[in-house]
Structure 1
Amino acid sequence: MECRTGCAACCIAISISSPIPGMKSGKPAGVRCVQLTEDNRCSIFGHPDRPDVCSGLQASFDMCGSTDQEAFRILSWLEQETNPNAHN
Protein backbone atom coordinates (compact mmCIF):
# COMPACT_ATOMS: atom_id res chain seq x y z
CA MET A 1 0.00 0.00 0.00
CA GLU A 2 1.20 3.51 -0.80
CA CYS A 3 0.70 6.44 1.57
CA ARG A 4 -2.19 8.71 0.60
CA THR A 5 -0.68 12.07 -0.30
CA GLY A 6 -1.77 14.72 2.17
CA CYS A 7 -3.20 12.30 4.76
CA ALA A 8 -0.60 12.92 7.50
CA ALA A 9 -2.47 10.83 10.08
CA CYS A 10 0.80 9.22 11.18
CA CYS A 11 2.36 12.69 11.54
CA ILE A 12 -0.43 13.94 13.79
CA ALA A 13 -2.31 11.09 15.53
CA ILE A 14 0.62 9.21 17.05
CA SER A 15 3.28 10.28 19.51
CA ILE A 16 6.94 10.29 18.51
CA SER A 17 9.43 9.98 21.35
CA SER A 18 12.58 10.57 19.32
CA PRO A 19 13.83 14.07 18.45
CA ILE A 20 12.53 15.70 15.28
CA PRO A 21 14.16 18.82 13.82
CA GLY A 22 12.24 21.63 15.46
CA MET A 23 10.81 19.32 18.15
CA LYS A 24 13.80 18.21 20.23
CA SER A 25 11.63 16.14 22.60
CA GLY A 26 9.57 14.52 19.87
CA LYS A 27 5.82 15.17 19.80
CA PRO A 28 2.78 14.06 21.75
CA ALA A 29 -0.16 12.29 20.12
CA GLY A 30 -2.60 14.63 18.44
CA VAL A 31 0.00 17.34 17.86
CA ARG A 32 0.89 18.23 14.30
CA CYS A 33 4.57 17.66 13.49
CA VAL A 34 6.31 20.96 12.76
CA GLN A 35 7.79 19.39 9.64
CA LEU A 36 4.38 19.11 7.93
CA THR A 37 3.75 21.61 5.17
CA GLU A 38 0.38 23.32 4.71
CA ASP A 39 -0.64 20.56 2.30
CA ASN A 40 0.34 17.85 4.84
CA ARG A 41 3.58 16.75 3.24
CA CYS A 42 6.72 15.97 5.23
CA SER A 43 9.32 18.66 4.57
CA ILE A 44 12.14 16.33 5.69
CA PHE A 45 11.02 13.24 3.75
CA GLY A 46 14.16 11.47 2.53
CA HIS A 47 16.38 13.79 4.60
CA PRO A 48 18.90 12.23 7.01
CA ASP A 49 17.41 14.21 9.94
CA ARG A 50 14.08 12.43 9.54
CA PRO A 51 13.59 10.16 12.59
CA ASP A 52 14.05 6.42 12.05
CA VAL A 53 10.56 5.80 13.43
CA CYS A 54 9.12 7.94 10.62
CA SER A 55 11.17 6.50 7.79
CA GLY A 56 10.53 2.97 9.05
CA LEU A 57 6.75 3.38 9.14
CA GLN A 58 5.10 1.59 6.22
CA ALA A 59 1.54 2.21 5.11
CA SER A 60 -0.80 -0.76 5.45
CA PHE A 61 -4.54 -1.21 5.28
CA ASP A 62 -4.60 -2.28 8.95
CA MET A 63 -3.04 1.04 9.95
CA CYS A 64 -4.39 3.38 7.28
CA GLY A 65 -7.81 2.00 6.39
CA SER A 66 -9.57 3.26 3.28
CA THR A 67 -9.70 7.00 4.01
CA ASP A 68 -7.71 9.68 5.80
CA GLN A 69 -10.41 9.86 8.48
CA GLU A 70 -10.24 6.12 9.02
CA ALA A 71 -6.44 6.35 9.35
CA PHE A 72 -6.86 8.98 12.09
CA ARG A 73 -9.35 6.76 13.94
CA ILE A 74 -7.18 3.65 13.69
CA LEU A 75 -3.94 5.39 14.65
CA SER A 76 -5.57 7.28 17.52
CA TRP A 77 -6.97 4.00 18.84
CA LEU A 78 -3.57 2.28 18.49
CA GLU A 79 -1.93 5.18 20.32
CA GLN A 80 -4.41 4.87 23.19
CA GLU A 81 -3.90 1.09 23.37
CA THR A 82 -0.11 1.17 23.29
CA ASN A 83 0.85 4.41 25.04
CA PRO A 84 -0.14 4.82 28.68
CA ASN A 85 0.65 8.56 28.45
CA ALA A 86 -1.69 9.15 25.49
CA HIS A 87 -4.41 11.75 25.96
CA ASN A 88 -7.94 11.66 24.61
Structure 2
Amino acid sequence: MMDCRLGCGACCIAPSISSPIPGMPNGKPAGERCIQLNNENLCRLFGKPERPKVCLQFKPCPVICGSTTQQALANITELEHLT
Protein backbone atom coordinates (compact mmCIF):
# COMPACT_ATOMS: atom_id res chain seq x y z
CA MET A 1 0.00 0.00 0.00
CA MET A 2 0.96 3.60 -0.49
CA ASP A 3 -0.62 7.03 -0.18
CA CYS A 4 -1.95 8.78 -3.26
CA ARG A 5 0.37 11.31 -4.82
CA LEU A 6 -1.48 14.59 -4.51
CA GLY A 7 -2.07 16.10 -7.91
CA CYS A 8 -1.59 12.83 -9.81
CA GLY A 9 -5.17 12.19 -10.94
CA ALA A 10 -4.25 9.22 -13.15
CA CYS A 11 -7.02 7.09 -11.64
CA CYS A 12 -9.49 9.86 -12.55
CA ILE A 13 -8.33 10.03 -16.17
CA ALA A 14 -7.06 6.69 -17.50
CA PRO A 15 -9.77 4.16 -16.58
CA SER A 16 -13.33 4.00 -17.79
CA ILE A 17 -15.93 4.30 -15.04
CA SER A 18 -19.29 2.73 -15.80
CA SER A 19 -21.11 3.93 -12.70
CA PRO A 20 -22.72 7.39 -12.54
CA ILE A 21 -20.60 10.27 -11.30
CA PRO A 22 -22.17 13.59 -10.28
CA GLY A 23 -22.06 15.61 -13.50
CA MET A 24 -21.42 12.46 -15.56
CA PRO A 25 -24.58 10.35 -15.24
CA ASN A 26 -23.31 7.73 -17.70
CA GLY A 27 -19.87 7.42 -16.12
CA LYS A 28 -16.82 8.28 -18.21
CA PRO A 29 -14.83 6.68 -21.01
CA ALA A 30 -11.18 5.72 -20.61
CA GLY A 31 -8.79 8.61 -21.16
CA GLU A 32 -11.35 11.32 -20.37
CA ARG A 33 -10.86 13.51 -17.31
CA CYS A 34 -13.53 13.06 -14.69
CA ILE A 35 -15.58 16.23 -14.40
CA GLN A 36 -14.93 16.14 -10.64
CA LEU A 37 -11.15 16.46 -11.11
CA ASN A 38 -10.15 20.06 -10.45
CA ASN A 39 -7.31 22.05 -12.07
CA GLU A 40 -4.87 20.76 -9.45
CA ASN A 41 -5.89 17.14 -10.24
CA LEU A 42 -7.66 16.76 -6.91
CA CYS A 43 -11.08 15.10 -6.63
CA ARG A 44 -13.91 17.45 -5.65
CA LEU A 45 -15.83 14.44 -4.25
CA PHE A 46 -13.05 13.07 -2.05
CA GLY A 47 -14.50 12.30 1.39
CA LYS A 48 -18.09 12.95 0.26
CA PRO A 49 -20.88 10.35 0.22
CA GLU A 50 -21.64 10.91 -3.47
CA ARG A 51 -18.17 9.70 -4.48
CA PRO A 52 -18.65 6.56 -6.63
CA LYS A 53 -18.03 3.20 -5.00
CA VAL A 54 -15.42 2.28 -7.63
CA CYS A 55 -13.41 5.35 -6.62
CA LEU A 56 -13.69 4.52 -2.93
CA GLN A 57 -12.44 0.99 -3.61
CA PHE A 58 -9.33 2.04 -5.56
CA LYS A 59 -6.26 1.65 -3.38
CA PRO A 60 -3.02 3.09 -4.71
CA CYS A 61 -0.06 0.74 -4.84
CA PRO A 62 3.44 0.98 -6.33
CA VAL A 63 2.70 -1.66 -9.00
CA ILE A 64 -0.20 0.35 -10.44
CA CYS A 65 0.88 3.89 -9.61
CA GLY A 66 4.60 3.58 -10.28
CA SER A 67 6.73 6.47 -9.08
CA THR A 68 5.38 9.21 -11.35
CA THR A 69 2.07 10.40 -12.73
CA GLN A 70 3.22 9.39 -16.22
CA GLN A 71 3.89 5.83 -15.03
CA ALA A 72 0.49 5.68 -13.33
CA LEU A 73 -1.26 6.87 -16.50
CA ALA A 74 0.61 4.31 -18.61
CA ASN A 75 -0.03 1.44 -16.16
CA ILE A 76 -3.72 2.18 -15.71
CA THR A 77 -4.17 2.68 -19.46
CA GLU A 78 -2.55 -0.70 -20.12
CA LEU A 79 -4.82 -2.38 -17.56
CA GLU A 80 -7.82 -0.70 -19.19
CA HIS A 81 -6.81 -2.12 -22.58
CA LEU A 82 -6.35 -5.60 -21.10
CA THR A 83 -9.82 -5.70 -19.53
Q: Deviations over 1:35-80 (max 9, x none)?
A: 0111000001011100000011000011101111000000000000
Unaligned segments of structure 1, at least 5 residues: 83-88
Q: TM-score, normalised by structure 2?
A: 0.97
Please give the residue correspondences for 1:1-12 in structure 2 after superposition, counting only pairs within 5 Å. Answer: 1-12=2-13
Q: Percent identity?
A: 56
What letter is aligned with 1:76?
Answer: T
TM-score by length of 1: 0.92
CA distance in 1, matches of 2:10, 2:39: 14
Instruction: Tell me the residue number matched to 2:62.
Output: 61
CA RMSD of the aligned region, Å?
Answer: 0.4
Q: Which runs of 4+ in 1 moved over 2 A?
A: none
Gap runs ≥5 in structure 2 = none
Q: How many residues align?
A: 82
